[in-house]
Homo-oligomer: A and B are copies of this chain.
Amino acid sequence: MKSVQDIVTEIQDAGLKVTPQRVAVIQALYKLNHPRAEEIYKEVSQNIPGLSPTTVYNVLDALVEKDIIKRVKTEKGVMRYDAVPDHHHHMYCITTDRVEDFFDPELDNLLQNYFEKKQLKGFKLEDIKLQLMGKFE
A128: CB under 8 A from chain B? yes
Q: A95-137: contact bitstring with B at CB < 8 Å (1 yes, 0 no)?
A: 0000010101001001000100010101111111111111111
A91 to B126, CA, bound (A): 10
Q: Which residues of B lie under 8 Å from residue A120 when comparing CB positions? A: 91, 102, 132, 134
Q: Is the CB of B132 within 8 A of A128?
A: yes
Specify the chain B residue showing the minimal Cβ separation from A76. B79
* Residues of B close to A74: CB separation below 8 A: 73
Residues of A participating in the B interface, judged by any CB pair closer than 8 Å: 71, 73-79, 91, 94, 100, 102, 104, 107, 110, 114, 118, 120, 122-137
Q: Which 4 A/B pairs are nearest by Cβ-Cβ distance?
A: A73-B73, A127-B133, A129-B131, A125-B134
